[in-house]
Structure 1
Amino acid sequence: MSILRWAFALGVCAAASAQAQPASFTVATASIADQKAVFATVEAAHVVPARARIGGTLTSYEVKYGDSVQAGQRIAMIADPAMIQQLQTLDAGIAAARAQLAQANIDFARAQKLILTGAVSRAVYDQAQTGVSVATSTLKAKRAERDTLAQQINEGAVYAPVAGRVLLTPLTQGTVVQAGDSVASIAEQDYVLRLDVPEHHIDYLHVGDMVRVAGDKPLFAKIVLVYPQVANGRVEADAIAPDVGDYFVGQRIEVWVYVGSRPGVVVPASFIDTRFGLDYADLRAPDGHAIAVPVQRGMPQPTPELPDGVEILSGLKTGDVLLPPGSAP
């Protein structure tokens, strides 16, 4: 059973590079994995809220529904008008403190000259020097207070906590929010496929099995969880795939799962030639010559050994030696 599931692990063959066309291929009976089409729903493994860190007014959204975001990307901005006014007040205070420092430096420079001639007392000189120190400290305090307030204002930026896709932006511009309010809901990038399988196939669902996602290009997912509960005659299982992020959360897609095996003939599709709507294979006759025989092509059955494997329903038997198309006259 494990060998059949490994043969059904088509992700390996999808990633394999194209091999050179062999000179011949000997037909042999092999175990073919039967597959059943079921529906799976794209689900987010985790939905993470992006929350406001300060209270204020939502001034802008920088994302919309369905946008892909990276962790740490800014998605919204919250501003508190009171903080903006405080910032303007501090800017004015810093300007005043600079003027006071400039005046204190002028007074101190004058005192330095006058004390050399004895025109002012030592007390006046010390007072001017103290004025410079006080004005310098006042300016530093104002700047530190402004930096603190500016950092609080910067806390109004709401960042994406994880990489993923925006599912919900529940607020509108101008909405008043409090610290901790959810501004957006983000589906984490690692989506899962939630399979819905009939109960009578439950014996074929195992963690580690591969399933094939229907589509234009091969996409394969690995079952990571089988839910231990049957509801309405169906069982659910979760599978993960590397490129499921291109789908929408909640989208239903077709998935092929392993449901058993049977004997059959599988050959490389490159040995089958289609002429006028009919499929032919070139066989090596007992006398060494090549003859073309019609075959009936079945479903694709790729395996790690035969990335382009296709089932042949009739026309070939075990021991036949196939030659590349065009070998027969």
Structure 2
Amino acid sequence: MRLLMIAATIGLWPLMSMADTATDTVVSASTVTEWKAVYGRIEARDLVPARARIGGTLVALSVSEGDLVEAGQTLGQVYDQKLDFQLSAIDAQLSALQTQLGNAQAELTRGESLLERGVTTAQRLDALRTQVGVLEGEIAATGAQRSVIEQQAAEGAVLAPTTGRVLNVPVTKGAVVMPGEAVASIGGGGFYLRLAIPERHANALAEGAQIVIDSAGQPASGTLVRVYPQIENGRVIADVEVDGLSSAFVDARVLVRIPVGERAAITVPVVSLITRSGMDFVPVRDGDDVVLRAVIPGDVQGDVVEIVTGLAVGDVIVPADGECCDE
């Protein structure tokens, strides 16, 4: 109570110096942005799993959580021993077919010689040619089967589907994996902030609005690029793009302030505030005198500060120069 009485006495105490009326400022109401503080979560634009293309044993794994990878980079190797056995069987078939083809070609050459001497018939020679053609076709088909198995063996390499950061590796070296099973999850395509905003502010959200962000203690700004129409658990989901957003910790929470409306408020220049005995004052003209009016300041926006109470529209503020504000 004693402090309040002292403050009231100081506030009504006429100041000895008179300010220049040419530089006085008349208090008027201005429109300020209403901000809502929420937490956003850093997420990857694309979350793509790196999958095993064949089943087998994971014999090599070269990445772990947090590693940066390039598209097409080998992340691991899946080995299936059955493919080696199939290749060996096909090689044996090809060897047998090659031997049969050699014998059939020798018979065809001999038949052509006998036909020239009139010892054999043209029908027999056609049969020999047919046999050579059949064997050549079987060799080509078996070679194609071998190419298929070689391709399957080559697909044992697990490749990164996109450039980004490894977010999750759910398997370990030596594990048995099935075709299509995820070996790692890659977050790529850039990172953005995903917000969950109370639905009462849904109509105030507009794409393209500027968002104030406190990232790792450093102020930054972003752009609201998408507002999703579906409301989940009383929350509106929205995405914010931020240049240079840190991706060291995905799903990290970041404090964000979003504009949810506008209201009328009284603002004065920050330099007009005078702090004495822990209280804030503004020099105001009262007739021919200048007095210090006790005020309660609010948020500071640039070079102006909002006055919650203590001033009214029409008050005349005197510049807080040196002589005006000395006791």
- Fold conserved (TM > 0.5)? yes
Greater C-alpha radius of gyration: 2
- Unpaired runs of 5+ in structure 2? 1-24, 270-297, 307-315, 318-327
Matched residues in 2 for 1:97 and 1:219: separation? 72
Structure 1: which amino acid aligns with 2:255?
E
What is the DSSP-based 3-state SS (H/G/I as helix, E as strand, rest coil) of the residue aligned with 1:214? strand
Change (3 A) 1:202 1:94: same
| Residue of structure 2 equivalent to 1:83 | 83
Opposite residue 182 of structure 1, the aligned amino acid is: A
Counterpart Cα distance in 1 of 2:202 and 2:136: 80
Establish whether residue 61 from structure 1 lines up as the match of residue 64 from structure 2: no
Deviation of the 1:124 alpha carbon: 5.2
Q: Compared with structure 1, are the counterparts of its residues 146 and 36 closer, same or farther at alpha carbon in structure 2 (3 Å cutoff)?
A: same
Q: SS in structure 2 opposite 1:40?
A: strand
Deviation at 1:135, TM superposition (A): 1.8
User: Which position in structure 2 is the counterpart of 1:108?
Assistant: 108
Identical aligned residues as a percent: 31
Closer, same or farther: CA 108–33 of 1 in aligned 2, 3 Å = same
Match of residue 249 from structure 1: 250
Contact 1:264 1:311 survives alignment (8 Å): no
Cα–Cα, structure 1 residues 73 and 299, in superposed 2: closer, same or farther, change >3 Å? farther
Q: TM-score, normalised by structure 2?
A: 0.57
Q: Is 1:118 paired with 2:118?
A: yes
Report the counterpart of residue 167 of structure 2 in structure 1.
167
Which structure 1 residue ranges, 5 or more long, are not aligned? Answer: 1-26, 267-297, 302-309, 319-329
> What is the aligned length?
248
CA apart distance, 1:104: 2.8
**Given that residues 205 and 259 in structure 2 are in contact (C-alpha distance below 8 angstroms), is that contact kept between their aligned partners in structure 1?**
no
2: distance between equivalents of 1:200 and 1:148?
Answer: 55
In the aligned structure 1, how far is the partner of 2:180 from the partner of 2:190? 25
Deviations 1:61-90 (A, max 9, x none): 354323455676654432211012211321
Q: 1:56 to 1:252 in 2, by over 3 A?
A: same
Q: Which of 303, 311, 323 lines up with 2:303 in the alignment?
A: 311
What's the counterpart of residue 323 of structure 1? none
**1:126-137 superposed matches below 5 A:** 126-137=126-137
Structure 1 residues 197-221: Cα deviation after superposition (integer angstroms, max 9, x where no partner): 7x79958952534312235584403
- SS of 1:136's equivalent in the other structure is helix
- Match for 2:227 among 224, 229, 242? 224
Q: Summarize the Cα distance change of 1:110–1:165 in structure 2 as closer, same or farther, 3 Å threshold.
A: same
Contact 1:212 1:257 survives alignment (8 Å)? yes
Q: Deviations over 1:255-314 (max 9, x none)?
A: 233365545479xxxxxxxxxxxxxxxxxxxxxxxxxxxxxxx9996xxxxxxxx42469
- How far residue 224 of structure 1 moved from its aligned partner, in angstroms, is 1.8
- How far is the alpha carbon of 1:241 from its aligned partner? 0.9
Q: Is the 8 A contact 2:213 2:219 kept in 1?
A: no
- 1:92, CA displacement in angstroms? 3.6
**Residue 325 of structure 2: aligned partner:** none
Q: CA separation of 1:107/1:43 partners in 2, compared to 1, >3 Å: closer, same or farther? A: same
Equivalent residue letter for 1:105: Q
Conserved? CA contact 2:59–2:77, under 8 Å = yes
Say if 1:219 and 1:95 are closer, same or farther in 2 by CA, change over 3 A: farther
Q: Which residue of the partner structure matches residue 148 of structure 1?
A: 148
Could you tell me which amino acid in structure 1 is paired with residue 137 of structure 2? S
In structure 2, relative to structure 1, the CA distance for the partners of 1:98 and 1:172 (3 Å cut) is same
1:132 to 1:32, Cα distance in 2 relative to 1, 3 A: same
In 2, Cα distance between the equivalents of 1:115 and 1:157?
Answer: 56
Q: Deviations over 1:218-251 (max 9, x none)?
A: 4403162495646xxxx67533215476423121
Aligned pairs for 1:201-216 (under 5 A) are 202=201, 206-208=205-207, 209-215=209-215
Equivalent position amino acid for 2:227 in 1: V
Matches within 5 A, 1:236-315: 237-241=237-241, 243=243, 246-247=246-247, 248-258=249-259, 260=262, 262=265, 264=267, 310-312=302-304
Deviation at 1:133, TM superposition (A): 1.6
Task: Kindly report which structure 2 residues correspond to 1:31-42, keeping only aligned pairs within 5 A, or say none.
Answer: 31-33=31-33, 35=35, 38-42=38-42
Cα distance in 2 for residues equivalent to 1:80 and 1:31? 70
Task: State how far apart, in whole Å, the 2-side matches of 1:203 and 1:311 are.
Answer: 30
Partner of 2:289: none
Going from structure 1 to structure 2, the CA distance change for 1:133 and 1:60 (only over 3 Å counts) comes to: same
What's the secondary structure of 1:249's corresponding residue? coil
What TM-score comes out, normalization by structure 1 length? 0.57
Alignment partner of 1:172: what SS?
Answer: coil
